[in-house]
Chain A
Amino acid sequence: MIGHFRGDNMKNVLITGINSDFDNCLAKKFMAEGYDVFILEDGKTLGVEKLDFFIDTTDYVHENDGSSVREGVNWDAVEATFRNNPLKSMALLEAHLPLLDAGEEKRLFYLTQSRASINETESTTGYGYNMSKTALHMFIHLSRNKLAPLGYTFRVFDPLTGIVDAKAAAESAFTYITRRRGTDGDDGLRDDEDNLVIWDALGRKHSW
């Protein structure tokens, strides 16, 4: 843990790393709103008994992951990307699941980009990022199938880096993370929490 920022609303937030302006703005937003914010450092333990919000900021992009099959894909960059985007996220969730089980909110947040939607992408390059994030999307679905009956809810978010200002994107993400999604009483068929989607910083929904 490289940072513990104590708030007063008794809800613990774990942010798995600060790797971008967006991550930084999101951490500051949680602090400003009175949450207890923990920022992870490899090999350190948290020293808390429960976590409420799990913010996985893993969103690895390799600088050499920009070639098509005609140009020659850099497979070392692809491997490095896979070892981060799905695999690191899998390890992080497994490691913190006991603390999340003890928490009240049980809400998990993941970063992605809409270019990693099989249905929407127009990419011809970035095999490492797109394929690894697609694997992550499947991991999120499989985890949801396992964890939703235990009270877990999920948020998947595209901050639209380079399109939306990082602070504005963090405001969108904070609302998305902390606000419950709509439901019509006890009608399970009209509960949007059951509808796992990618939302972006402009409030648009993307398919998988």
Chain B
Amino acid sequence: MPNVFITGADRGLGLSLCKEYLNRGWRVFAGKYMEDFALLESLAHPALHVIKLDIGCMKSIAAAKEAVLKVTNSLDMIVSNAALMGDVNCELYKPPMDLEIPWDYFRINALGTIKLVETLLPIMDQGEMKRLCFVSSEAGSITLMKHRGAHPFPYSMSKAAMNMGVRMLHNQLYKDGYSFRIIHPGWMKFRKQDGNLEESGRFDPDYIGQWAAKYFETPRADEHRLAMVDYREYDWPF
């Protein structure tokens, strides 16, 4: 039974990916952050292991590793999906900018992502697939940002920084047998506590989750190439 660790599994794409991999016969370690969401537990699957995880906290990441080791000494895949997002007041011409806001975005979306991989790397080394998957965004594409109007700083900056971190992981770990996936999942509807979807957003996370689970799992002919793709598997520039 292959093992996957999925962050941000409380709702949305993370939750959908948990369902997908459980249905595909994987053991799923699901990082849970939101105490007031019980959608994950409601899956009630024997191969599901819910682990408390604050991706912005180094101690929490270390504790998650210990929780995995109580069950298995090998992981095949990490899906880094947890992210801080939303409207924030951090703009030029609206002084003073609260610089703790972008710092929180960096800490969670960029640094926490790389720290998680660093921490779980010894367990991943024991796995067969060695696949590292990251949920990024077109909002982190520096190249295409020239076409966007005024846009909040923190989220885009943090996703661009995360993409750099993944590039550096790729530089080192590809030669060790690791393969990588980066996706721009598109604008998904939020799933509410009652399990229903909000109106705003374009995609049902279950629809994106079905595609992403397959994309993450399926070998590519060009594994040596680090690429960010959307649900159509179109390439996006960094």
A→B interface (CB under 8 Å): 68-70, 72-73, 75, 78-79, 82-83, 86-87, 90-91, 93-94, 97, 116, 118-119, 121-127, 130-132, 134-139, 141-147, 196, 207-208
Q: Which of B162-195 contact A (CB under 8 A)?
A: 162-165, 167-169, 171-173
Query: 9 closest pairs, A vs B, by CB?
Result: A134-B164, A208-B142, A124-B172, A118-B238, A135-B157, A138-B160, A69-B118, A141-B145, A131-B161
Task: Tell me which residues across on chain A come within 8 A of B153, comparing CB atoms.
Answer: 90, 138-139, 142
A91 touches B140 (CB 8 A): no
A196 touches B165 (CB 8 A): no
Residue of A nearest to B173 (CB): A69
A138 touches B157 (CB 8 A): yes
A145 touches B146 (CB 8 A): yes
B92 touches A123 (CB 8 A): no
Expressed in whole angstroms, the minimum distance between the Cβ of A143 and any Cβ of chain B is 7
Interface-located stretch among B5-13, B15-23, B24-32, B106-114: B106-114
Query: What is the CA–CA distance of A78 and B110 in the complex, to the nearest angstrom?
Result: 11
Q: Which of B194-238 contact A (CB under 8 A)?
A: 237-238
Q: Kindly identify which residue among B58, B142, B167 contacts A138, using a CB–CB cutoff of 8 Å.
A: B142
Residue of A nearest to B100 (CB): A87
Expressed in whole angstroms, the minimum distance between the Cβ of A187 and any Cβ of chain B is 18
Contacts A131-B161, A139-B157, A142-B148 supplied; 8 other A-B pairs, CB < 8 Å:
A69-B172, A90-B153, A91-B99, A121-B167, A124-B171, A131-B164, A142-B153, A208-B143
Using C-beta atoms within 8 Å of the partner chain, give the interface range for chain B.
35 or more
B95 touches A134 (CB 8 A): no
A123 touches B142 (CB 8 A): no
Expressed in whole angstroms, the minimum distance between the Cβ of B177 and any Cβ of chain A is 14
A135 touches B114 (CB 8 A): no
A121 touches B168 (CB 8 A): yes
Expressed in whole angstroms, the minimum distance between the Cβ of A198 and any Cβ of chain B is 10
A146 touches B92 (CB 8 A): yes
Is the CB of B149 closer than 8 A to any CB of chain A?
A: yes
Task: Tell me which residues across on chain A come within 8 A of B14, comparing CB atoms.
Answer: none
B160 touches A135 (CB 8 A): yes
Residue of A nearest to B170 (CB): A124
Q: Kindly identify which residue among A86, A93, A130, A145 contacts B168, using a CB–CB cutoff of 8 Å.
A: A130
Residue of B nearest to A134 (CB): B164
Q: A70-B121, A72-B118, A91-B99 are in contact. Are A134 and B92 (CB under 8 A)?
A: no
Expressed in whole angstroms, the minimum distance between the Cβ of A45 and any Cβ of chain B is 15
B110 touches A131 (CB 8 A): yes
Residue of B nearest to A93 (CB): B92
Q: Which of B66-113 contact A (CB under 8 A)?
A: 91-93, 95-97, 99, 102-103, 106-107, 110-111
B92 touches A144 (CB 8 A): no
A116 touches B103 (CB 8 A): no
Residue of A nearest to B172 (CB): A124
Is the CB of B45 closer than 8 A to any CB of chain A?
A: no
Is the CB of B158 closer than 8 A to any CB of chain A?
A: yes
Expressed in whole angstroms, the minimum distance between the Cβ of A24 and any Cβ of chain B is 28
Task: Tell me which residues across on chain A come within 8 A of B145, comparing CB atoms.
Answer: 138, 141-142, 145
Residue of A nearest to B149 (CB): A145
Q: A118-B238, A135-B161, A208-B238 are in contact. Are A142 and B156 (CB under 8 A)?
A: yes
